[in-house]
Structure 1
Amino acid sequence: MGFSQGQEALVNSSWEAYKQNLPHYSVLFYTFILEKAPAAKGMFSFLKDSNEVPQGNPSLNAHAEKVFGMVRDAAVQLRANGVVVLGDATLGAVHNQKGVVDPHFLVVKEALLKTIKEVVGDKWSDELSVAWETAYDGLAVAIKKAMN
């Protein structure tokens, strides 16, 4: 089963909505991650020395935008090619260096979906969830492949 034009459109429109309040949603995203996996704090340079997720941190915002943007790019690639190919060859090495393992991918996926649900509010649907899940899973497979 391929990634449909409708799924890509859902991801794109909610990505645009996410970017409208990037600082707020970035903090929310990392708050969700740390609620689920407090030990992950040490994996992010912008969280290491803080007791809470810092507001207005440019590094935090940039990293969150990169994560969500890569999932959005994965949706585009899935639609066009049926597979996700990493544009950044260093991603595997960085994830290895940080000690990322399979459960971490699940935590990030859950946080990403919870964040998008907040972004879209009453426009949240199973179809939107599946679109983001599928795109994220494609990206995760590509990153894990680069890690090996």
Structure 2
Amino acid sequence: MAMSRILEKAPESKDMFSFLKNFDGIPHQNSTLEAHAEKIFDMTRDAAIQLRAKGKIDLANDVTLEYLASVHVQKGVTEQHFVVLKEAMLKTIKKAMDDKWSEELSCAWSIPYDQLAATIKKAMGWELGNQS
């Protein structure tokens, strides 16, 4: 599961999730955490669909984007957190795809994730060279 991988790689990120504050160790079967991971996969998939259809991700006026940005700022999300999440997501998809995994599939998930992350970072007020 992607979120468990994140917590293994960046254990300090556990405190960013209110539903994990009183949880000891790394949860491997937590329905709230799994639902959160599914939202991230869904957003990345939707970003891929938009990129394919429109050539861009159009979330600038989305209330969800503003909410996501404010939560990420409030929780102290850093550039490294975006990197760790991407790595965990790709490893999870690769494991699920097994021998069907390819460089093309890696790019098909990486590019929309990077675009989505850039959109969230921009909404967070990050500028080039001014990222935590």
Q: State the one-letter code of the partner of 1:104.
A: H
TM-score normalised by L of structure 1: 0.76
1:72 and 2:49 are equivalent in the alignment: no
SS of the residue corresponding to residue 85 of structure 1 reads coil
Report deviation, 1:95: 0.7
Aligned counterpart, 2:128: none
**Where in structure 1 are there 5+ consecutive unaligned residues?**
1-27
Q: Distance in 1 between matches of 2:107 and 2:96?
A: 16
CA contact (8 A) 1:30 1:53 kept: no
Q: Calculate percent identity across the aligned residue pairs.
A: 57
1:42 and 2:42 are equivalent in the alignment: no
Q: State the one-letter code of the partner of 2:51.
A: L
Report deviation, 1:55: 4.7
Q: CA RMSD in A?
A: 1.4
Aligned counterpart, 1:107: 84
Q: State the one-letter code of the partner of 1:46.
A: F
CA contact (8 A) 1:117 1:124 kept: yes
TM-score normalised by L of structure 2: 0.84
CA contact (8 A) 1:47 1:53 kept: no
Give the number of equivalent residue pairs: 121
SS of the residue corresponding to residue 51 of structure 1 reads coil
**Where in structure 2 are there 5+ consecutive unaligned residues?**
126-132
Q: Distance in 2 between matches of 1:48 and 1:74?
A: 30
